[in-house]
Copies of this chain bind each other. A is one copy, B any other.
Amino acid sequence: MSTPSLLILPGDGIGPEVMTEVRKVIDWFGAKRDLSFDVSEDLVGGAAYDAHGTPLTDATMARAQEVDAVLLGAVGGPKYDVLDFSVKPERGLLRLRKEMDLYANLRPAQCFDALADFSSLKKDVVAGLDIMIIRELTSGVYFGEPRGIINEGNERVGINTQRYTESEIERVARSGFEMARKRGNKLCSMEKANVMESGVLWREVVQKIGDTEYPDVELSHMYADAGAMQLTRWPKQFDVIVTDNLFGDLLSDLAAMLTGSLGMLPSASLGAPMANGRPKALYEPVHGSAPDIAGQGKANPIACILSFAMALRYSFDKGDEATRLEEAVNAVLAQGYRTADLLGEEGRSPVSTSEMGDAIVAAL
C-alpha cells in the first residue's frame, strides 16, 4: 500500500500552534513505528481569506477530496466578524464538510480521570464519563435552502431551512447503530418531534432502521430539550447519542463541557468509503480558535493530538497505535503536566503548548 496522505489545515487562532505539536507526534510515528504519511499543509478559514480572499480555495478543496484524511485546527476570530457571511472563516469548514459529504460527526465526550475535579459538575456525576455523540453534519438547517435575508414589505426577514431526507437520516442512523454495537449497544436519538415535522420524520426513520437492521441495539428517543437536561443531570445514562446538525452542535458542546476536558476532546467527521475502502474523513478538535490566547504558547494541543489518534483508528485502521497515543496522553496527565486551561485557580504553573507536545512525544 502506498504511503497514506494527510492534508493539514491549521486554520486560525491557536490552530497553527496546536498543529505544530501534532506534527511532532506524526514525525515520531514515522521515525519509530514505520508509519509514514505524505503530509501536505494548506490554508483554511481566516488565514485563507487573508491570503486569497476566500476561506477555502478550489485548489485546497480539490486536495482535500484526494487525500486519505484531513486534519484541521480551528477557524474563526473577531478580526473576521465584519466579513460578509459568504466569506466568513466558518464557510471554509462548512464547505469541506459538505463537499466531502462528511455526514457522521463523531464527538466523544470523555472525562479524563486526572481532570475529573476540573469539571463544573460534581465528581461522581462525571468521573468515568464516556459517551459518544454522532452528529449529522452535512444537512439540516446548516445547509437547507431557501436561506438568506430578504426584503418583505417594509422590513427584512432572516430565513433558514431545516430539511432532512429519509436517506440522509438513514445513513447517519446506521452510523449511530454501528457505533452502539461497538460500545454499550444502546442508542438514544434526539429531536423535537413534538414541535417539528422534520423531527417526526427523523424519529420514524431511526426507529425503522433500528427495527429492521439493528433489533439487537436498545433504541430510545428523547426530545432535544429534555436531552440537554438529562445530559446535565446524569450524563452517564447515555452511551451513544445520534442527533441532527444543529442539535448536535449545542448538545455535543454541552457534553464536552461537562467533562471539564474541553481542551482534550477530538472529533472525527466521516463520509462514505472511497475507492481504497477508507472513509472520507476530516479530524478536528472540538474546541474553537480561542483568539484570546492565540500566539501565547498557552493552548492545549491534546485535543488536536487526539484527533490524530482518531485518524489512526478510523482512517488508517491502526487502532493499536491510536491506543498507544491515547495512553501516552494519559501518562503525561498522570505525571502532572497541565496546560493553563487545565489548572483553574490552583497555584501550580502551567506547561506551554510545546512543552506539552514534547512530553507526549517523550511518553510515546
Contact = CB atoms under 8 A, between A and B. Distances in A.
A276 interface: no
A27 to B, nearest CB: 33
A254 interface: yes
In which size bucket is the chain A interface?
35 or more
Given A94-B195, A225-B253, A163 B159 contact: yes
Contacts of A288: 226
A225 B197 contact: no
Nearest to A119: B122
B165 A195 contact: no
A65 interface: no
Contacts of A224: 249-250
B162 A157 contact: no
Nearest to A230: B257
Contacts of A256: 229
B257 A232 contact: yes
B198 A225 contact: no
B162 A192 contact: no
A277 B162 CA distance: 38
A199 interface: yes
A228 B199 contact: no
A160 B195 CA distance: 10
A291 to B, nearest CB: 13
A200 interface: yes
A159 B197 CA distance: 6
Given A120-B122, A225-B250, A160 B232 contact: no
Which among A144, A149, A194 has the highest number of chain B CB atoms within 10 Å? A194
A167 interface: yes
A183 interface: no
Interface string A243-282: 0001101110110111000100000000000000000000
